[in-house]
Chain A
Amino acid sequence: MEHYNMNLTLKVWKQKNSKEKGNFETYQVNDISSEMSFLEMFDVLNERLIKEGKEPIAFDHDCREGICGSCSMHINGKAHGPWEKNTTCQLHMRAFKDGDTIVVEPWRARAFPVIKDLVVDRSAFDRIIQAGGYISVNTGNAVDANAIPINKKDADHSFMAAACIGCGACVAACKNGSAMLFVSAKVSQLALLPQGAPEKRSRVLDMVAQMDKEGFGNCTNTYACEAECPKGISVDNIARMNREYLSAGISSE
């Protein structure tokens, strides 16, 4: 791909804290390389803002390798920007042309309150995991890796669900702000394996109860989550969680 430089107009959501109202601010950025990542473009802008004595734009990031799930921008109307199955940190500026205007917003959901600018509080996800996203493991020596035989297909499906990085793009993309794709991936990865069997019923009931408590919306099967998930998590997992929930809900006391 040929390298080129571009000048861009950024419209970025600025919000002081979770209490105050936010608004868009417009920034001009010049000579942005097509080989930069989207976050590097923000680094360039922030360095300039700091030099000018202005407040830099707050945004979440960590590994910048597309695996930690920290970055979270809603770019030009899509979670993680225009590329499919891609995180914001792996979005490169060659996705844009010279003269483009780019609108950048935080995830918008009641369960993800804005902390500052583009940073949202995703601790609701942590509390859902704490409610049941774990397995019981005996102490002592580590068990031999293949001691328990597992069907290859189940292992594959579990692994595909475990690819979820918990970034929250599913919530951001869903018109109902529903967290069903995230929770169903976390339920599925354990429900498919024998190691997850002891908490089979309590896990799904507790995690769904916590999800509801956090104020996420209800799933209406529009599948926007799957379309915008950077890891391609399938809505098959939502059906599996529904199945698990219905059987646990009917059979438990």
Chain B
Amino acid sequence: MLTNLKLQLLHMTWKHFFTSSIGKKLIMGLTGLFLILFLIVHCGLNAMIYFNDSGETFNHWAHFMGSNLIIRVMEIGLFAGILLHIIQGLMLWVQNSRARPVNYAMNRAPANGKWYSRSMGLLGTLILLFLVMHIYHFWTPSRLGGIAGIHALQETRLGAEYNGQEVHDLYAEMLVVFQNNLWVVIVYVLGVIALFWHLLHGFQSAFQTFGINHKRYTPIIKGLGVAYSVLICLLFASMPVSMYLRWIK
């Protein structure tokens, strides 16, 4: 009798919770919001190049981010967040395309929603491709050793002070990457454009997933999302451009 009763009671495991359609969306929203917060830090610190002091302020903070233990531990969390967001996104994409095995011959999708809301998977893939290149340009050399050209550049920049030592000079790496390669600058700007549309949907969508849809709060959230996407992306895009155009030296 008691065992029968037990069967009728609700049983909710963490696995049920996070593998349900709403739980999966929750993971996307939480990791997405975490990455949104990360971008504020990333963009803010990068903007130190606009002191235009040959990267002194920028390098100071880049050194702090690269050497501080707490930041390095948080970096592991960042990579975990990115991976989770990507893997969950891929799984959602696979499941969602399976949910419609036969496509419509005629589908007026533009009449019922925004193109970027429907293209989050594609935009995410573009961002991922960009990210591979971005990590190769900056994260790998700064964490795992220099790329070609850095030493030569440091020699000219620092002159006699440079004695072949490994100076942690992320600013020099930025100059190497952006000053002489127009195509790299173009790819970076395109990557940021993909990021812009991704954020424009993602920011406000995360709050809907958390269950926040409110007459007074939602317009504020949506406004914040647009302002955030525009600001962050304009700032990011301006960095390689201003280095290429030698506004920042």
The chain A residues found within 8 Å of chain B, CB to CB, are: 11, 24, 74, 76-78, 103, 105, 108-111, 173, 175-178, 180, 201-202, 205, 208-209, 211-212, 215-224, 227-228, 235-236, 238-246, 248-250, 252-253
Contact = CB atoms under 8 A, between A and B. Distances in A.
Which of A178, A218, A240 lies at the interface centre, i.e. has the most chain B CB atoms within 10 A of its CB?
A218
Interface residues of B, number: 43
Contact of B210 (A111, A180, A242): A242
B96 A177 contact: yes
A212 B213 CA distance: 23
Contacts of B114: 222
B209 A177 contact: no
Given A110-B98, A205-B10, 15 more contacts: A108-B102, A177-B96, A215-B98, A216-B21, A218-B25, A218-B96, A220-B92, A221-B117, A222-B118, A223-B113, A227-B111, A227-B113, A244-B211, A246-B22, A246-B211
Interface string B22-39: 111110000000000000
Contacts of B108: 76-78
Given A109-B100, A239-B212, A218 B92 contact: yes
Contacts of A242: 22, 25, 208-211
Contacts of B112: 78, 173, 222-224, 227-228
Interface in B133-182: none
Given A222-B113, A252-B12, A246 B26 contact: yes
A219 B99 CA distance: 11
10 contacts: A110-B100, A177-B100, A211-B21, A215-B99, A218-B96, A239-B211, A242-B211, A243-B212, A246-B210, A249-B20
Contacts of B109: 77, 175, 224
B146 to A, nearest CB: 42
Contacts of A246: 22, 26, 210-211
Contact of A110 (B11, B99, B107, B212): B99
A103 B212 contact: no
A249 B113 CA distance: 30
Nearest to B89: A220
A212 B20 CA distance: 7
